[in-house]
Amino acid sequence: MTLDAQRRNILAGRMYNDLTDELVRARRQAVLLTTEYNESFGQPQEHREAILRRLLQAVGSGCHFEPTFRCEFGFNITIGDHFYANFDCVMLDGGGITIGDHVLFGPRVGIYTSNHAVDAAERAAGACYAKPVAIGDHVWIGGDVTINQGVTIGANTIIGSGSVVTRAIPANVVAVGSPARVVREITDADKTGYRP
């Protein structure tokens, strides 16, 4: 099966063999490109974004990862404009990751769309499945947050540090905990009057 066919199978949520030569090579290529990107720290933004465009499915302007950034494949990640991730961001993107505009990640955020089979023999044979993750515009993800497969996070939402997101989080809320749960809405009372 070609890499494109395997990618379509993975994105469709079907069980796939994580150990095929094509997927092993794709992960190796992602390691090479993320290493090149991480080592380009301090170089012009245009150069660094050009590396991301070789790695990711789509990337908007003003995209920045502090070193180190790692992803599984890269070709299933779409990022909007003005994205910032603090250090040690990890994205397992088998199921597809979509991130909106003006999104901030604290340090050590992990997004995991892929999962291994529950049955031990299937797991040993490389059986995996994946579900997408989608993050809306103007979202702030605190440090040490884990986002699990199949999750959608609505626009204008904050996920508190140390949270584990296991289910959909609506727009315009603050959510925190393990598993993350909504603790309050974001309202006009949160405006401080700050003007840049």
- Which pTM value belongs to this model? 0.95
116 is catalytic: yes
Residue with tokens 């299937």: 122
Which residues of 104-155 form beta strands (DSSP E)?
104-105, 110-112, 114-116, 127-130, 133-135, 140-141, 146-148, 152-153
What tokens does 6 get? 């395997």
pLDDT of residue 67: 96
The average pLDDT across 162-178 equals 98
| 3-state SS class at 86 | coil
Q: How many CA atoms lie within 13 A of 24 on its CB side?
A: 5
pLDDT in tens, 108-119: 999 999 999 999
Which of 47, 64, 102, 116 is catalytic? The answer is 116
pLDDT in tens, 33-91: 999 999 999 999 999 999 999 999 999 999 999 999 999 999 999 999 999 999 999 99
Rounded Cα distance, 89 and 66, in Å: 8
